[in-house]
Amino acid sequence: MGKIQLTRVRKSFGEVAVIPGLDLTIENGEFVVFVGPSGCGKSTLLRLIAGLEDTTSGVIDIDGQDATNLPPAKRGLAMVFQSYALYPHMTVRKNIAFPLKMAGMAQAEQDRRVERAAKVLNLTDYLDRRPGQLSGGQRQRVAIGRAIVREPAAFLFDEPLSNLDAALRVGMRQEISELHQSLQTTMIYVTHDQVEAMTMADKIVVLNAGRIEQVGAPLELYNAPRNIFVAGFIGSPRMNLIEGAEAARHGAHTIGIRPEHISVGDGPWEGVVGLAEHLGSDSFLKVAVDGIGTLTVRAPGEVSARHGDRIRLAWAGKLHRFDAEGLAL
Amino acid sequence: MARAVSRRHKVVVTLAAWSVALIIFFPVLWMILTSFKTETSAVASPPQLFTADWTLENYAEVWARSDYPRFFGNSVVISVGSTLLGLAIAIPAAWAMAFVPGKRTKDLLMWMLSTKMMPAVAVMIPVYLIFLRTGLIDTRIGLVIALMLMNLPIIIWMLYTYFKEIPAEILEAARMDGAGLWGEIVHVLTPMALPGIASTMLLNIILAWNEAFWTIVLTTTNAAPLSAFIASFSAPQGLFYAKLSAASAMAILPILILGWFSQKQLVRGLTFGAVK
């Protein structure tokens, strides 16, 4: 079981309210991603759930039990840190066994669980090495191993892949997703990388300045962002936001069009290509459109427009409309 | 910009370093040489660095006339005891200051250090009277307590500096893994800070071993360590330089040997965290 419920949870550091008060329910077995820009309070929220920070007010329930004032170890949660936070003086085996040792588990059972976790994470050959002798990816696996042996009610991941290089990140992302599939345990994952959020999550929580902007499945956020912030944050490259006469023509204060929903060739808009990035599969163009401003366009790879070319554009997909407060119409 | 260091520059710097080291070491060298002279050549005028009549007489006489093993034993008990007791108090204190600092932590650290700036003689009478009334005068436990308190600010400061280098996330990981405060300190913090703790321990053993003011003030016979042993050779029979030097050499030899073997650890510990 691993249902986590936050009710009017607030966190202030002195005068500064980092989390002004939020409610959130995480169902058992869900993979929930907290996403948002730096300083939005996502890591603080995770640390509140972990018990590493005290809540200023509000209630945190874990499996129906009030855990607000429980110390971290009594919450039945396991955490994987950004810096891995391995114990450098212990071997991999001792690192993974540490939570079991602290729980006073019999040595035979400790060994059995460590061997099993090592097998799942391909660490069997490294059990007698120290963290300093491992690569970044292997260290991250050890940190995950240390978390899974406890068989926790939920896993908490605090930007676990941000110290890895791009190729390794993709691999580890898949491994964590597969781990979730096989364990079916609740996972809460903090990241500022919206690609990680989109690819891994059952449910994304978009945070901004300590407030929840929107909660939903990845495609729900992509297709129906509740406000300009979510519209701009989810999707890569960012959604084009257009104000002024063009927006007014659609009965909105601001309209949003995703770069992949603009076609090159024929259409009502005309502009000059500023930057053209040809990736093979896609071509990303920055086009200065007359009377509208610069639009980002994601065109098929075969579009060969270059810097200085004059091209015509049309929107070919969903158009998002927002009012003056930035809320979706 | 990288600067090429010329060979000439290296030679000059090395010579300068050796000269400074020799100037600092000269009194110790003089003392050791004097300890092998006769009393007459020890006070010869003009002074002679070397003499023709080397002798081991002084050592034999100092050994025969005093109970060296007892003084030595007291020095070991007092310096090691005060250091271990100091570490037992300082590790949790430095942990608290490094990882759960309050608004006044910095002030507290400065205040502790400021007590070291006060001349010891300023509190001699009250400390002496307290020791007298509580029966701690001339006891090993009394000196262990006194020297521990004397060096506690330095121990806490050094450990605080080492602990600050340990990432807080590792201790948080230990907390998540079910370690209580004790488990966190014993299983994670202490082993990780071991090089720092070791150099703090060595430095404090040396400081306690060399402490003369309080050991002379607070002891007479039973708990007197080697620093009091040296002093005992300076007073009653007038100044016998050769014997005094032999006694001093015998007193500093153990700590010199300890310092020699642990110098690598000491330097590593003292420069710990200086370069990331």
**Amino acid sitting at position B29:** L
The answer, for A209 touching chain B at a CB cutoff of 8 Å, is no
Residue in chain A closest to B170 (alpha carbons) equals A85
Q: Say what the pLDDT of residue A25 is.
A: 93
- The CATH topology of domain B65-270 is MetI-like fold (1.10.3720)
Q: Say what the pLDDT of residue A109 is.
A: 93
Looking at domain A4-230, its CATH architecture is: 3-Layer(aba) Sandwich (3.40)
In the structure encoding, which two tokens stand for residue A189, read together? 């994952």
Tell me the ipTM for this assembly. Answer: 0.83
Q: How confident is the model at residue B4 (pLDDT cuts 50, 70, 90)?
A: low
Q: Which helix (H) or strand (E) holds A315?
A: strand A310-315
Three-state DSSP class for residue A71: coil
Residues on chain A touching B165 (C-beta within 8 angstroms) = none
How long, in residues, is chain A? Answer: 329
Question: Of A272, A271, A260, whose CA–CA distance to A300 is shortest?
Answer: A260
A44, A62, A80, A89: best mutation site toward chain B, by most B Cβ within 10 Å?
A: A89
For chain A, the domains span: 4-230, 237-322
Per-residue pLDDT at B272 exceeds 70: no
Q: Whole-angstrom Cα distance, residue A120 to residue A149?
A: 11
Q: How confident is the model at residue B273 (pLDDT cuts 50, 70, 90)?
A: very low
pLDDT in tens, B43-91: 777 888 777 788 888 888 888 888 888 989 999 999 999 999 999 999 9
Count the Cβ atoms, other than its own, within 10 Å of residue B269: 23
Q: How far is CA A179 from the centre of its chain?
A: 17
Q: Whole-angstrom Cα distance, residue A242 to residue B269?
A: 61
Residue in chain B closest to A47 (alpha carbons) equals B172
Q: Is the CB of residue A102 less than 8 Å from the CB of residue A161? A: no
Q: Whole-angstrom Cα distance, residue B182 to residue A32?
A: 34
Rounded to a whole number of angstroms, the distance from the CA of A151 to the nearest CA of chain B is: 12
Going by C-beta distance under 8 Å and a sequence separation of 6 or more, which residues neighbour residue A281?
A301
pLDDT in tens, B126-170: 999 999 999 988 899 999 999 999 999 999 999 998 888 888 889
Rounded to a whole number of angstroms, the distance from the CA of B166 to the nearest CA of chain A is: 10
Q: Is the CB of residue B202 less than 8 Å from the CB of residue B269? A: yes
User: What's chain A's Rg over C-alpha atoms?
Assistant: 23
Q: Could you give the angle at the alpha carbon of A93 between the alpha carbons of A183 and A185, nearest 5°?
A: 15
Going by C-beta distance under 8 Å and a sequence separation of 6 or more, which residues neighbour residue B274?
none
Rounded to a whole number of angstroms, the distance from the CA of B180 to the nearest CA of chain A is: 8
Q: Say what the pLDDT of residue B229 is.
A: 82
The answer, for B165 touching chain A at a CB cutoff of 8 Å, is no
Is A85 within 8 Å of B180 when comparing Cβ atoms?
Answer: no
Residue in chain A closest to B182 (alpha carbons) equals A102
Residues on chain A touching B180 (C-beta within 8 angstroms) = 73
Q: Say what the pLDDT of residue B220 is.
A: 82
Q: Say what the pLDDT of residue A96 is.
A: 94
A237-322 has CATH 2.40.50.140 classification: yes
**Mean confidence (pLDDT) of chain B:** 85
Residues on chain B touching A82 (C-beta within 8 angstroms) = 169
Q: Say what the pLDDT of residue B99 is.
A: 87
3-state secondary structure chain B: CCCCCCHHHHHHHHHHHHHHHHHHHHHHHHHHHHHCCCHHHHCCCCCCCCCCCCCCHHHHHHHHHCCHHHHHHHHHHHHHHHHHHHHHHHHHHHHHHHHCCCCCHHHHHHHHHHHCCCCHHHHHHHHHHHHHHCCCCCCHHHHHHHHHHHHHHHHHHHHHHHHHCCCHHHHHHHHHCCCCHHHHHHHHHHHHCHHHHHHHHHHHHHHHHHCCHHHHHHCCCCCCCHHHHHHHCCCCCCCCHHHHHHHHHHHHHHHHHHHHHCHHHHHHHHCCCCCC
For chain B, the domains span: 7-59, 65-270
Three-state DSSP class for residue A39: coil
Q: How confident is the model at residue B276 (pLDDT cuts 50, 70, 90)?
A: very low
Per-residue pLDDT at B275 exceeds 70: no
- Give the residues of chain A that fall short of pLDDT 50: none
E-assigned strands of A250-290?
Answer: 254-257, 262-278, 282-289
Three-state DSSP class for residue A202: coil
| Greater model confidence, B118 or B11 | B11
Q: Whole-angstrom Cα distance, residue A2 to residue A185?
A: 7
Residue in chain B closest to A105 (alpha carbons) equals B178
Residue in chain A closest to B184 (alpha carbons) equals A102
The partner residue sitting opposite B167, judged by closest CB among A71, A72, A83, is A83
Is A150 within 8 Å of B177 when comparing Cβ atoms?
Answer: yes
The partner residue sitting opposite B176, judged by closest CB among A79, A82, A83, is A79
